[in-house]
Amino acid sequence: MFRMLNIGDTEWVSSVMGLGPNRRDLHFDQRMCASYIAADKYKAFLALTTNQDGYIVEPILSTPEGDCIKNPYNFGGPMGSVDLISSRGPDGVG
């Protein structure tokens, strides 16, 4: 299931803190988006995709016009609660 969490949603915090310590990144903290919101009037979201194996998160910024989405730290990508590739068996099934 795919959802977009708004800044301030407690599920944002619990999803990021639910990542293993080696998977947490400071840039996934919703407070890192505050400067973009204050200075550029961006909207901040956490993209959250869940399935039976775990979940994947990625913070996303949207311009005020809504015509462009950005990552708050301009590089990197989504982070998963587990290694979803290796959590599957050789036949590709969990």
Task: Tell me the average pLDDT across 23-43.
Answer: 89
Task: Tell me the average pLDDT across 63-87.
Answer: 77
Task: Tell me the average pLDDT across 11-20.
Answer: 93
pTM above 0.85, yes or no: no
Q: Is residue 38 pLDDT above 70, yes or no?
A: yes
Q: How confident is the model at residue 58 (pLDDT cuts 50, 70, 90)?
A: very high
Strand 54-62 and strand 79-80: pairing?
antiparallel
What pLDDT is attached to residue 24? 84
Q: Is residue 66 pLDDT above 60, yes or no?
A: yes
Calculated CA dihedral for residues 13, 18, 24, 27, nearest 10 degrees: -20
H helices within 3-92, ranges in order?
Answer: 10-17, 34-40
d(CA 41, CA 75): 21
Q: How confident is the model at residue 71 (pLDDT cuts 50, 70, 90)?
A: confident
